[in-house]
Amino acid sequence: MKQPAVYILASQRNGTLYVGVTSDLIQRVWQHKNDAIAGFTQQYRVHDLVHYELFDDMPTAIAREKQLKKWNREWKLNLIETGNPAWRDPWAAKPLDPRLRGMTA
């Protein structure tokens, strides 16, 4: 499913965080989890999807990504805790959002 999205990955609960934007959340998360793209998430083993937001258009998603990247760590942790207090990765468990059903790493 292609739809603009902003997402946050974590190495573990309260661990290293990564904020990204994509037009295909399922594909992009798969790439991160399988270290298909060299970089920060591969180097620091940041693979757990802990937060995502879907958008109608890419410019809005990019603006939100830039906003979140400017946030301090505490604000990002609060955002994750509010929407996903158990820090469950929908990829690893039953999806929190039915649009993510069938995701496998």
The DSSP-derived string for 42-97 is HHTT--EEEEEEE-SSHHHHHHHHHHHHHS-HHHHHHHHHHH-TT---TTTSS-SS
Question: According to the model, what pLDDT value does residue 93 have?
Answer: 63
How far apart are the C-alpha atoms of 36 and 27, rounded to whole Å? 11
Q: What is the pTM of this model?
A: 0.86
Given this model, what pLDDT does residue 72 score?
A: 98
Please tell me the predicted confidence (pLDDT) of residue 105: 34
> pLDDT tens digits, residue range 44-93?
999 999 999 999 999 999 999 999 999 999 999 999 999 999 999 988 76
Region 90-100 average pLDDT: 60
Q: Which CATH superfamily is domain 5-100 in?
A: GIY-YIG endonuclease (3.40.1440.10)
pLDDT for res 99: 52
| pLDDT tier for residue 101 given thresholds of 50, 70 and 90 | very low
- Say what the pLDDT of residue 2 is: 84
Tens-place pLDDT, residues 9-56: 999 999 999 999 999 999 999 999 999 999 999 999 999 999 999 999
Domain residue limits, the chain: 5-100
According to DSSP, the β-strands at 17-22 and 48-54 are unpaired
